[in-house]
Amino acid sequence: MAIQIKEIPQEVKHLLAEIKDHLEDGSHHGYLLPKSIEAIIEFYAKHHPKPCIIETDPKGVITHVDAEFAKLAGYEPQELIGTEANILRSPNTPTGIFQQMWQKITQGEPWMGELENVRKDFSPFWIAMLIIPVVDIQGNPMKYLGIAFDLTEEYEQRRRLEEKNKELVDSLKYAKRIQKIFLPPNELLDEILDDYFVIYRPRDVVSGDFYWAAKTVDKAFVAVVDCTGHGVPGAFMSLIGHNLLNQIVLNKKIYDPGEILTELHKEVRATLKQDRQQRNKDGMDLAFITIERYGDKVYYAGANNHIYWWSTEKDDLIVVRADKMPIGGEQLEEERVFTTKTLEIQEGDCLYLFTDGFVDQFGGPEDKRFGSKRLKNLIRKYHNESMRIQRAKFNLEWKEWRGDGEQIDDVTMIGIRFGEID
């Protein structure tokens, strides 16, 4: 029977020689089909070159094992010979795998897969197994030869890694619940804002973005903040930012946005010890507004984050620009001071505060940034809709732009429509 194979690795030649000697020493001569040899070469390419050998008759009774396989299974070779191979079967291995295996090998086809087995002491071990039929001159299976590689250590490492990953995921889920507690409750936003939406899409389980709100008798405060990093490092920074805003606005009673950001910058640098020789560059960008609850003015200050203002008076979109400097991080100037801008608001005006994750998302047919131009066009297109509808439209457009691509950053946006001015 001619076998046409261009190249056989040297270690496979040694194995084939061992198999040939074994078959010729048996009571019945048998053959390996070319597809079985090809399967051995493929199997060898996936695993380390130290195989074990097991052989059964057509009914699955073990007729031969080498010392390596017997040792792996925790038996002496003579204890296994004459027993059914299912003595090694683990109850954790689905029955369907064995059904598929027998269907293939009884038709003369090689089968390969990974199996969990049990040793003599009932401890588990895992193998990568290739089973090839040994056929007679007519091509009918006479016996089945199993070539196995020990995967036990790999599976144990995988199991330990899965346990660690589960612990990590559980910790992150718990951290997510904690982080959500720090976000403003809907009841507060409902009280201080006429009509609004919130889009909050962490890239990972926890976020480096957060939004913040507070109130006094005659003022409301809203901020959208983008901290350095995302995931766990960003989440730590978000908690620092949240606590500092509470201290500055609620405890120190600083209400002017420019003064709030100036103080926040000082506090972040002090908290992160950035005024020392070994300073880091962590910090945050944000947009902050103070709303007169019974008036027609909104005061804004921004650290790198502009806001968009749809003005009903001008029937146009206005970009209210931020100061081009972050909160925290390296400071070359003697003092960093943020400026406050005053907006004369009318009924129907809309403000949009957002982090850069929305506009920086890659996607579309050419895998480009969503960009500020598209966001502006969305506002122009949908500003007359309710904030609930705007949120749905913005989400849909952004998701369609992203497509199947990965979200590259945390995304946060708050849209506010002002009702009747008192």
Same domain for 43 and 98, yes or no, is yes
Same domain for 135 and 275, yes or no, is no
Same domain for 117 and 254, yes or no, is no
Same domain for 222 and 330, yes or no, is yes
In a domain, 156, yes or no: no
CA 337 from chain centre, in angstroms, equals 38
332-385 pLDDT, tens digit per residue, is: 888 999 999 999 999 999 999 999 999 999 999 999 999 999 999 999 999 999
With a cut of 80, say whether residue 50 has pLDDT above it: no
Same domain for 258 and 396, yes or no, is yes
With a cut of 70, say whether residue 419 has pLDDT above it: yes
In a domain, 165, yes or no: no
Same domain for 193 and 122, yes or no, is no
Query: Which has more pLDDT, 190 or 334?
Result: 190
241-293 pLDDT, tens digit per residue, is: 999 999 999 999 999 999 999 999 999 999 998 876 556 789 999 999 999 99
pTM score, two decimals?
0.70
In a domain, 5, yes or no: no
Residues 287, 289: Cα–Cα separation, whole Å: 7
In a domain, 199, yes or no: yes
111-128 pLDDT, tens digit per residue, is: 999 999 999 999 999 999
Q: Domain with 328 in it: what CATH number?
A: 3.60.40.10
In a domain, 57, yes or no: yes
pLDDT of residue 5: 44
- The count of structural domains within the chain is 2
In a domain, 160, yes or no: no
pLDDT of residue 4: 45
What integer best gives the mean pLDDT of the chain?
A: 90
In a domain, 230, yes or no: yes
Domain region containing 127: 10-150
